[in-house]
Amino acid sequence: MRTFKIEKPEEALRPAIQDKIDNLNKPKGSLGVLEELAMQVCLIQQTLTPSLAHPCHLLLGGDHGIEREGVSVSPREVTWQQMINFTRGGGGVNMFCRQHGFKLRIVDVGVDYDFISEKGKVKSEKFATAIIDRKIARGTRNFLHEPAMSEKEFDKAIETGASLVDDCLAEGCRVLCIGEMGIGNTSPSSIWMSHFCDIPLDECIGAGAGLDTPGIRHKREVLSRAVANSKHYTRNATCSILRYFGGFEMIAAIGAMLRAAEQHLIILVDGFIMTACALAVCRLHPEAQSYMVFGHCGDESGHRRMLDAMGAKPLLSLGLRLGEGTGALCAFPILDSAVRMINEMNNFDNASITKYF
């Protein structure tokens, strides 16, 4: 795995930022979370006039070998079908990207489907947005029996995520959002949560895309056996745990977050799966959390507990469980309001208002 140099933002500017926030024409502290966000963004960007220029959204697709064990109510083919739907602008992620001005990049890092023809061109001319081909393999292996990916595949997935961020940086991106599409990916997320937060696995497993009670029971049985079978391989090393259970889209997301933190980008974190990826990032580099804004707490069992374990405060709790990055995108206007507050609100002197505190 490549080495990332991630440092917490410099603190020297904090007093000046706080002074600017406190002198906006409002009661001190009256804009609550917006003031906290403004402070975080100013520190990340090391400026009193922050910007959310050229926001980018990475939609990463990949399939999971564990899906073959019936741990999801949705069949595997839904992954590639939805990926094609995204290219035509018909997904939830498309709607929110359009609404909030995000450039959407749809990336195949491990979908069990051939989007590209033998001539190297996208098969369907109807695709409104091209699928970026970064396929590592057609899905991971079944971690009930063996590691989901090799060390070489793991390293390639990390590098793929990092390189996608470099593409965004080249366009002047200052804020990055990441979403996923991969049937079965709540399963590795639950295992990562259990391992990294030291929470019993049963308490980390939920309904995913909509399992009923017998389905959840079966999922718990399968994942418990998978964890027991993995003991010889994992040996508690963080990268080993990630590689054994993770999906290509999840490891690529980790690579993207690491590179984004290294380059001082704001990272908008979505729901259960992306929070599990953020948790993994913080296990590798705790300093990276300074660059994360947690957009949403979803309905998946354990998500709130995972956020609490990280000391993370999500901006929204809307009962969403779609994935794709939609919860984070919905939270973007709050981040935008915080930046507008510090850039556009008048101060007491300019507004000729008596400062009464």
Q: Which residues are catalytic?
A: 324
Distance CA 149, CA 50 (A): 40
Distance CA 319, CA 339 (A): 26
Distance CA 252, CA 160 (A): 6
Give the side-chain half-sphere CA count within 13 A for 143.
36
Tell me which H or E stretch contains 105.
strand 103-110
Contact 297, 314 (CB under 8 A): yes
Query: What is the longest distance spanned by two Cα atoms in the chain?
Result: 71
DSSP state of 116: B
Pairing of strands 266-269, 292-294: parallel
How many CB atoms lie under 10 A from the CB of residue 28? 13
Distance CA 241, CA 277 (A): 12
